[in-house]
Amino acid sequence: MKEDDEDVKKLSKDIINLAKGLEETIKQAKALGIFTNERELLFCDECKLVEDVAFNGILFTYVNENEEIPQHRTVEDDDTGLRFVEIEYLKKYKCPKCGHIIEYTETDDDLFFTND
Ligand SMILES: [Zn+2]
């Protein structure tokens, strides 16, 4: 049984290291402008700034004036260059265009286990 305990300990350690590595990878992806799917895409009611994700995973924004469902948007042609600003302690985002505060929903698929 002692051997089993050691195996479990080693496995736990491996899983924790794997999760740490994944967390680091997600941080790097975010820094590159890649959408990591941890929340829903944002939309500003006030100025109609909308987030979208390009085929290569890059997050970009455009203004959806007429509120119709967009046909085809690309980073090259439509990106405003603006990015919603996270206000971490409020768990909200601020619109970079008009300053409106936006609530967001975290997505369900939890990648990490927490210690609490
Ligand atoms: Zn706005």
Contact criterion met (CB below 8 Å) for 52 and 73 = yes
Residue 81 CA to ligand 1 centre (angstroms): 14
Look at residue 112 and tell me whether its pLDDT is greater than 50: no
Domain ranges for the chain: 1-32, 36-106
Residue 22 CA to ligand 1 centre (angstroms): 32
Percentage of residues in the chain with pLDDT exceeding 90? 55
Among candidate residues 103, 107, 79, the one with its CA nearest the CA of residue 91: 103
pLDDT mean over 13-25:
94
- Tell me the whole-structure pTM to 2 decimals: 0.71
Residue 46 CA to ligand 1 centre (angstroms): 5
Long-range pairs, 50-55, Cβ under 8 A, ≥24: 51/84
Residue 79 CA to ligand 1 centre (angstroms): 15
Residue 96 CA to ligand 1 centre (angstroms): 7
Give 82: exposed, middle or buried? Use CB within 10 Å, 0-12, 13-18, 19+. Answer: middle
